[in-house]
Amino acid sequence: MEKAICPQKCPYVLMGEKKKYAWCACGKSGKQPFCDGSHKGTDFSPIIVNNEREGNIAWCGCKATANSPYCDGSHSYL
């Protein structure tokens, strides 16, 4: 399996809305941290999240989290 690209070594902290999100798992999206279809032709698929509350969300930016799609601090070890 291919390894994900690390677009940044910190989380994307964004205000979440009550809606579905497609988090980019491959790191190739030009619309980080969300999927834009750049994974086509790879082994990756976006992680679909049905967010049910409003508030800040720390989306993983390094793609190394063990708690996809959320930041778990793994970027500290890259």
Q: For the chain, which residues score pLDDT lower than 50? A: none
Specify the pLDDT at position 12: 98
What's residue 55's pLDDT? 97
**Residue labelled with tokens 């601090």:** 73
Alpha helices in 1-78 (DSSP H): none
Query: What Rg, from alpha-carbon coordinates, does the chain have?
Result: 12
pLDDT on residue 2: 87
Find tokens 């996809």 and name the residue.
Answer: 68
